[in-house]
Amino acid sequence: MIATAAGTTAPNAVSMVRMHAVAEEIRDLVTEFGGANSSEHGDGLARSEFNRQLFGDQLYEAMRQVKGLFDADNRMNPGKIVDSPSMTEHLRDAALPPAPPLRTMLDLSLVSGGADGMRGAADRCMNIGLCRKTDAGVMCPSYMATRREEDSTRGRANALVKALTMADPAAALGDQRLHEVLDLCLMCKACKSECPLGVDLATLKSEALHQAHQLHGTPLRSRVFGAIRALNRLGSATAPLSNLPGRLPVARRLLGRALGITPSRPLPTFARATLPRWFARRGVVRGKRCSDNASHSGPLTWLVDSFTSYTEPAVGIAAIELLERAGWDVRLADGGCCGRAAFSKGLLDQARKQASGLVDSLAGSDGPIVGAEPSCLLTLRDEHRALLGSDDPRVADVAGRAQLLDELQQIAHGTTRRAWHPVELIRAALAD
């Protein structure tokens, strides 16, 4: 019965009767002890039904009159506080037929709470509307920009539930209108951490894109962005020539037309001296620095991501130097792309292959896995489990060792475990 609140189990008639009986008992107890039936969330549709008993006829009628004075047509929040239906009347899940079968590429058990596959994952949304906030947090950036319901996490989750309830959900996932609704989702994953129900729209969008590609083919734009590591490597190998198109207005217009890349934003600049090249050239210096360092912290695996390594290597170089000054023996893991780019474009076969290759190469590495690109490190933690299965021990090992720079922890002298905040790292480097 309670599971209904998490959108995982459709309530049946017996559980609804039981739920109502529990609520009535609570109301009676609250009335007996002079308490209030609701707290920070107000009465809503769940508790308004009991207000006449709680407040008494006189007060309740007064509230009805006030409501009638300010809202004669009963347009604002009808059914809340006064004149409410039974709390069991609008239980949305009761109306949903069982989810039609759908074979998904991703293991969605982690995002659905184990129930009802992809629809269960989308149906976690309880329509609270916290994703419509604009004053704090980061969920949902596209809604903050457009203020349209369909660009909120809730709007997208509801659109997906509707598609996944159709008789042929695979066909419904290819619907153009659905993808217009999903299009502005940046896949930032803010909803996964800020939504109280943990709706993970980024993962759902990826699966929806994959299903659409099966029906309509994969757009050129998606293929190009999915191959970002190969493109960045090629760009760096041919720099500075490869940076020319980014500066020529004609080329930018062509890129805009063919791939939808806006000419009003600068393109990243390919660096000739990539991070792996810099690291390989200074191998001897590195070994000396590490052995000289009195506060040796152990081996650390640096993830060569597809972005900063080729277009902003200075960021990675600075971080590696800082880590070495703090006593870490940094080793480079250049095992290919984590699959993030392919995942975000719904190229899930490719993403799975890349994820598997990288996990294989990282499985033999030592110490924490750290990098300069948070989205790649978080891919090791989250998306790899959806791509390769949450039971794979190699995936669990790599996920458990993947850390953002500011999360890095050090076991000092084998006993003390302390957080290595960047400020602490800088202090350690200065003290060295």
CB 350, min distance to ligand SF4, A? 21
Nearer to ligand SF4 by C-beta: 131 or 342?
131
Nearer to ligand SF4 by C-beta: 23 or 163?
163
Identify residues 151-190 at the interface with ligand SF4 (CB under 6 A).
153, 156, 185-190
Indicate which single residue of 139, 164, 239, 271 sits in contact with ligand SF4 (rule: CB under 6 A): 139
Instruction: Please name the residue that has the structure tokens 């790599």.
Output: 398
Number of chain positions touching ligand SF4 (CB under 6 A): 15
Which pairing describes strands 298-303 and 328-333: parallel, antiparallel, or unpaired?
parallel
Nearer to ligand SF4 by C-beta: 47 or 119?
119
| Encoded tokens for 65 | 């009159």
CB of 325 closer than 8 Å to CB of 429: yes
Nearer to ligand SF4 by C-beta: 84 or 142?
142
| 140 is an interface residue for ligand SF4 by CB under 6 A | yes
CB 379, min distance to ligand SF4, A? 14
Return the C-alpha torsion angle 330, 228, 203, 353, nearest 10. Answer: -80
Distance CA 140, CA 181 (A): 14
| Encoded tokens for 349 | 């076969």
CB 381, min distance to ligand SF4, A? 16
Indicate which single residue of 191, 355, 377, 428 sits in contact with ligand SF4 (rule: CB under 6 A): 191
CB 140, min distance to ligand SF4, A? 3
Angle subtended at Cα 151 by Cα 150 and Cα 154, rounded to the nearest 5 degrees? 70
CB 6, min distance to ligand SF4, A? 18
CB 141, min distance to ligand SF4, A? 5
CB 148, min distance to ligand SF4, A? 12
Nearer to ligand SF4 by C-beta: 25 or 180?
180
Identify residues 197-216 at the interface with ligand SF4 (CB under 6 A).
201-202
Nearer to ligand SF4 by C-beta: 311 or 375?
375
Nearer to ligand SF4 by C-beta: 186 or 404?
186
Identify residues 15-54 at the interface with ligand SF4 (CB under 6 A).
none
Interface region with ligand SF4, contact rule CB under 6 A, candidates 22-30, 135-143, 339-347, 375-383: 135-143
Nearer to ligand SF4 by C-beta: 186 or 290?
186
- Residue from 2, 1, 4 nearest 123 by CA: 4
Interface region with ligand SF4, contact rule CB under 6 A, candidates 61-69, 139-147, 264-272, 360-368: 139-147
Nearer to ligand SF4 by C-beta: 187 or 303?
187
Nearer to ligand SF4 by C-beta: 185 or 341?
185
Indicate which single residue of 142, 274, 308, 375 sits in contact with ligand SF4 (rule: CB under 6 A): 142
CB 69, min distance to ligand SF4, A? 39
Interface region with ligand SF4, contact rule CB under 6 A, candidates 61-69, 102-110, 140-148, 369-377: 140-148
User: Which residues would be at the binding site for ligand SF4 (CB under 6 A)?
Assistant: 139-142, 153, 156, 185-191, 201-202
